[in-house]
């Protein structure tokens, strides 16, 4: 019986993806741990764990040892497996590498479920939108101003109706100059988000947002340390610009705490960092009950499919040349497309993602020496 299928085997492979332009001196690559789960009928579901910098080998080891041992023989139902696995792995940490590893398995089980039913992930979850808007995004704090403006102009030329840039330069006057110049390129009708990547403390954030607010900001993202719930609640009460937060929140419980504290206007769960589709859906439902917006973080081939199933309006982050496809991780097109600021999805059954078997490792390839 299909509903009696059990997990028989789990295998992983590590793909090192070279970024077209490094996100910084210490981030020249992204890392994927591709997870294949074989079920008792011989079918295979494929998921993925992702980290741009920290711990890919640790994630793979966790999957290859602890996760494999715990889930062997379990029913191939992602919700049941996730909760039982969380009980076991929680001892190793309530988030971070733990949930990143769990995501690989959870995504593989959702992929297997979709393939078993002959339905794409979007149709399996319930399509609510035919398309969702995207915003151009880049890791560009270190770009000279001319390069930043060239990147933004490229997004405008591509039809993006919103963009996000990094802030948090050593002097606030530099941020003001850059944001003002970007607003000039965008004109008055495109949305502009800014992302400080946790670089400010509370007094600095208040001063910075007051100085940048005249440029009509759609939101300010991670202005403070991601764990500073009390400070976020204070900041949100003292500024008019919406606060976006969540790419570094790794559990449903952390999102509940942020929502209970009134610390956030837009939550931004990363489907891998929170542990997969199962917890992502729980976070989305919780955000909806609080009347708070949700905009998935990165990974458009996954986030876009989930966004099409959300009850309310959302944005999907389209990071410059950093999708799975752009990084060469996919063996064939997946059916998720971003054109003229709109994302659509017409994928095959399951996640619709077919990953390559291997890539040259740019950290060891002699051609890179």
CB contact at 8 A, 186 and 222: no
Closest CA to 112 of 47, 161, 49, 64: 47
Q: Which two tokens stand for residue 49?
A: 């764990």
Cβ burial of 2 (10 Å; 0-12, 13-18, 19+) is exposed
CB contact at 8 A, 199 and 168: yes
Tell me whether residue 297 is one of the annotated catalytic residues: yes
- CB under 8 A, 24+ apart: contacts of 96-100: 96/55, 96/250, 97/55, 97/58, 97/59, 97/62, 98/62, 98/250, 98/275, 99/250, 99/251, 99/273, 99/274, 99/275, 99/279, 100/49, 100/50, 100/51, 100/55, 100/59, 100/250, 100/272, 100/273, 100/275
Question: Which of the following is catalytic: 164, 166, 218, 250?
Answer: 166
Tell me whether residue 90 is one of the annotated catalytic residues: no
Kindly state the greatest CA–CA separation across the chain: 65
Q: Alpha carbon of 223 to those of 161, 207, 332: distances in Å?
A: 23, 11, 38
Phi then psi for residue 85, to 5 deg, are: -65, -40
Q: Residue 323 and residue 335: Cα distance in Å, rounded? A: 13
Q: Which two tokens stand for residue 108?
A: 């593989």
Q: Residue 239 and residue 113: Cα distance in Å, rounded? A: 45
3-state class of 139 per DSSP?
coil
Question: Which of the following is catalytic: 29, 31, 129, 297?
Answer: 297
Q: Which two tokens stand for residue 64?
A: 């290859």
Q: Which two tokens stand for residue 309?
A: 């199933």
- Enzyme catalytic residues: 166, 297
């Amino acid at each position: 019986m299909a509903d009696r299928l059990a997990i028989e085997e789990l295998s992983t492979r590590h793909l090192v993806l070279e970024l077209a332009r490094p996100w910084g001196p210490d981030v020249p690559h992204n890392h994927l741990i591709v997870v294949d789960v074989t079920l008792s009928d011989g079918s295979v579901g494929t998921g993925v764990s992702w980290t741009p910098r920290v711990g890919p080998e640790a994630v793979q080891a966790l999957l290859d040892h602890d996760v494999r041992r715990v889930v062997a023989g379990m029913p191939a139902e992602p919700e049941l497996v996730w909760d039982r696995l969380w009980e076991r792995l929680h001892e190793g940490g309530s988030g971070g590498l733990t949930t990143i590893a769990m995501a690989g398995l959870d995504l593989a089980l959702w992929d297997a479920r979709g393939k078993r039913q002959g339905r794409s992930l979007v149709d399996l979850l319930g399509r609510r939108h035919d398309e969702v808007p995207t915003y151009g995004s880049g890791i560009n704090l270190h770009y000279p101003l001319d390069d930043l403006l060239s990147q933004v102009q490229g997004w405008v030329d591509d039809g993006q109706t919103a963009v996000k840039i990094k802030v948090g330069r050593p002097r606030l006057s530099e941020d003001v100059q850059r944001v003002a110049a970007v607003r000039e390129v965008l004109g008055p009708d495109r949305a502009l988000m800014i992302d400080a990547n946790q670089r400010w403390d509370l007094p600095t954030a208040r001063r910075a947002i007051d100085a940048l607010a005249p440029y009509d900001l759609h939101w300010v993202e991670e202005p403070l340390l991601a764990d500073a719930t009390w400070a976020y609640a204070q900041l949100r009460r003292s500024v008019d610009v919406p606060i976006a937060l969540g790419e570094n929140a790794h559990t449903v419980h952390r999102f509940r705490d942020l929502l209970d504290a009134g610390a956030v206007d837009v939550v931004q769960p990363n489907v891998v960092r929170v542990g997969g589709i199962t917890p992502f859906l729980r976070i989305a439902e919780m955000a909806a009950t609080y009347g708070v917006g949700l905009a998935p973080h990165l990974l458009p081939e996954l986030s876009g499919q989930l966004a099409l199933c959300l009850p309310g309006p959302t944005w999907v982050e389209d990071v410059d040349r950093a999708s799975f496809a752009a990084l060469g991780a996919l063996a064939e097109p997946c059916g998720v497309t971003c054109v003229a600021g709109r994302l659509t999805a017409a994928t095959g059954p399951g996640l619709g993602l077919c990953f390559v078997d291997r890539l040259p490792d740019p950290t060891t390839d002699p051609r890179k020496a």
